[in-house]
Amino acid sequence: MRDGFPKNARWMKYAGFTATASSLLKEPDGTEHNAENVTDWGRDTAWVEGQEGDGVGESITLTLKKPAKVSRVGIVNGYAKSRELYTANNRTMNFKVSVNDGQPFNVEIPDEFLQEEHFWFDLPKSSALVKTIKLEIDTINPGSTYRDTAISDIKLLVPLENAPKIQPSR
């Protein structure tokens, strides 16, 4: 599997979405680790929950710009700007995931610093279009320095209905 696409996958595209969260961390210097940081395609920023404690029960909600049949979710867990920040902050061990406010299911996330990849998981097959996906922190891997739980990036994959037309080069 490469970049979240299974070897025998149909053609896929990334879905656009906005992100909101139950809380966010505000640093003393005014920096905010808001939910939209997971949409910027980078590892230099992260959503960091802002409640006292380890962040269990805090959540991030992804709202698709256009409802679609999302098949996979890709996550860069923790604060992945550097290996040091990754280990210093909490990382999610297990999410409760719900689609369109439906019954939640559990997803276990490996505690692995990913420099280029995402961890991918499949959403349950459904004929309904996905409007929202909620990721609630259920259990964490503790950080060595901070009790804040972070997520650096999220991607959503949607299968294309038709294969793209590829023109040979001249």
Angle in degrees, CA 23, 55, 120, rounded to 5: 95
The CATH number covering residue 41 comes to 2.60.120.260
Percent of the chain with pLDDT over 90: 77
Does pLDDT of 66 surpass 80? yes
User: Does residue 48 form part of some domain?
Assistant: yes
User: Does residue 105 form part of some domain?
Assistant: yes
DSSP labels, 18-59: EEEES--EE-TTS-EE-GGGGGSS-SS--EE--SSSS-TT-E
- Six token digits for residue 107: 């997803």
Q: What pLDDT, in 10s, does the model give residues 14-28?
A: 889 999 999 999 999
- Six token digits for residue 35: 């939910």
Burial status of residue 170 (CB atoms within 10 A of its CB: 0-12, 13-18, 19 or more): exposed
Rg, the chain, Cα only? 16
Does pLDDT of 2 surpass 50? no
Confidence band, pLDDT 50/70/90 cuts, at residue 4 = low
User: Does residue 164 form part of some domain?
Assistant: no
Does pLDDT of 9 surpass 70? no
Across residues 101-123, what is the average pLDDT?
A: 95
Which residues, in sequence order, are CB contacts of 140 under 8 Å at separation 6+?
Answer: 54, 55, 56, 90, 91, 92, 93, 149
User: Does residue 153 form part of some domain?
Assistant: yes
Which residue has better confidence, 5 or 107?
Answer: 107
User: Does residue 170 form part of some domain?
Assistant: no
The mean of the pLDDT values for the chain is 91
Which residue has better confidence, 131 or 159?
Answer: 131
User: Does residue 6 form part of some domain?
Assistant: no
- Six token digits for residue 40: 């910027």
Domain that holds residue 82: 12-159
User: Does residue 29 form part of some domain?
Assistant: yes
